[in-house]
């Protein structure tokens, strides 16, 4: 009697990979659900009540805070650019976990966050929405105008939507899509750190009166959605990474 032992064609899928794979492939569904929630947030008018936690008719007491301005604002932004530069150099001379990535993935690990940062910067440049500290309610001279009224200005300097500083953290969510195949557990950790960093940086700016909560939330949504789109585009055009 012969005993035939058959081995499965594929190794069992680890729980971490399963969760990562479902999230990576279902990013569009996450984007749509988040978009609906964001629209409800804007309609709720909760931005002002939350801003009042940190500011009043005399302005925002923490606007000139050393820790919020020099450390969480300027310092964090500098660290973000240094990290992006380090990843770009590492993609050219890979070591550690970068060796497990394909050239396309290593390219995407720095190019996709850079794309998110540039997109947020361009949106801010074209925005006519001013900062909370410019509003009459918080010691300024302007009335609040929705950031979704095209061409309608509040009369101020604008350039305050979405939250550019929070993108220093949120842009790195793009690494989740890049790492999902080769390093699923690292991908989840990467996503969590980027998300929490973006929220912390966004909150620090809200405490100073530079942004409303919605500004931060929209930045997170834009970075997540754009990163997913860029990852799909790069997967369809691997020659882009080779050329770069």
Q: What local confidence, expressed as pLDDT, does residue 4 receive?
A: 44
pLDDT at 6 over 60: no
How far, CA to CA in Å, does 4 sit from each of 1, 9, 10, 223?
10, 15, 18, 52
pLDDT at 243 over 80: no
pLDDT-derived band of residue 13, with 50, 70 and 90 as boundaries? very low
Residue with tokens 């594929």: 10
pLDDT at 121 over 90: yes
Q: What local confidence, expressed as pLDDT, does residue 190 receive?
A: 97
Tell me the C-alpha distance between 73 and 78, whole Å: 9
Query: What is the mean pLDDT of the segment spanning 53-76?
Result: 95
Q: How far is CA 92 from the centre of its chain?
A: 24
Most confidently predicted of 14-23, 200-209, 235-244: 200-209
Residue with tokens 């590492």: 90
Query: What is the mean pLDDT of the segment spanning 54-60?
Result: 96
Q: Of 67, 113, 151, which is closest to residue 227 (Cα–Cα)?
A: 113
Q: What is the mean pLDDT of the chain?
A: 89
Q: Which residues pair with 59 in a beta bridge?
A: 56
pLDDT at 38 over 90: yes
Q: What local confidence, expressed as pLDDT, does residue 237 receive?
A: 63
Read off the DSSP letter of residue 12: P
Query: What is the mean pLDDT of the segment spanning 201-212?
Result: 97
Residue with tokens 């569904």: 29
> Could you write out the DSSP letters of every residue in 84-103?
HHHHHHHHHS--GGGGGS-H
pLDDT above 70: percentage of residues in the chain: 90
Q: How far is CA 135 from the centre of its chain?
A: 26
Q: What local confidence, expressed as pLDDT, does residue 238 receive?
A: 53
Query: What is the mean pLDDT of the segment spanning 93-107?
Result: 93
pLDDT-derived band of residue 212, with 50, 70 and 90 as boundaries? very high
Q: Is residue 188 within 8 Å of 21, Cβ to Cβ?
A: no
pLDDT, one tens digit per residue, over 135-186 is 999 999 999 888 888 778 888 989 999 999 999 999 999 999 999 999 999 9
Q: Is residue 132 within 8 Å of 154, Cβ to Cβ?
A: no
Q: Is residue 140 within 8 Å of 133, Cβ to Cβ?
A: yes
Q: What local confidence, expressed as pLDDT, does residue 1 receive?
A: 44
pLDDT at 71 over 60: yes
pLDDT-derived band of residue 115, with 50, 70 and 90 as boundaries? very high
Q: Is residue 62 within 8 Å of 207, Cβ to Cβ?
A: yes
pLDDT-derived band of residue 9, with 50, 70 and 90 as boundaries? very low
pTM for the whole structure: 0.88
Q: What local confidence, expressed as pLDDT, does residue 174 receive?
A: 96
Can you count the helices (H) and strands (E) in the chain? 11, 2
Q: What local confidence, expressed as pLDDT, does residue 17 receive?
A: 61
């Amino acid at each position: 009697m012969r005993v035939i032992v058959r081995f499965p064609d594929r190794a069992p899928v680890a729980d971490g990979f399963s969760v990562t794979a479902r999230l990576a492939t279902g990013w569009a569904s996450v984007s749509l659900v988040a978009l609906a929630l964001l629209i409800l947030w804007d309609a709720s008018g909760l931005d002002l009540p939350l801003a009042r936690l940190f500011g009043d008719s005399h302005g925002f007491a923490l606007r000139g805070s050393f820790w919020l301005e020099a450390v969480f604002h300027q310092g964090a932004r500098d660290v973000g650019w240094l990290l992006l530069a380090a990843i770009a150099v590492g993609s050219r001379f890979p070591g550690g976990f970068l060796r497990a990535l394909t050239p396309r993935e290593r390219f995407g690990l720095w190019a996709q966050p850079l794309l998110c940062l540039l997109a947020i910067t361009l949106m801010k440049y074209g925005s006519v929405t001013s900062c909370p500290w410019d509003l009459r309610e918080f010691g300024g001279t302007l009335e609040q105008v929705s950031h979704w009224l095209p061409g309608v200005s509040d009369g101020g300097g604008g350039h305050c939507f979405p939250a550019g500083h929070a993108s220093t953290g949120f842009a790195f969510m793009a690494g989740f899509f890049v790492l999902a195949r080769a390093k699923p557990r690292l991908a989840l950790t990467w996503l969590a750190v980027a998300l929490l960093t973006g929220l912390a940086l966004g909150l620090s700016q809200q405490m100073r009166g530079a942004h409303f909560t919605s500004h931060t939330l929209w930045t997170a949504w834009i970075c997540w959605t754009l990163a997913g789109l860029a990852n799909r585009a790069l997967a369809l055009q691997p020659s882009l990474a080779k050329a770069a």
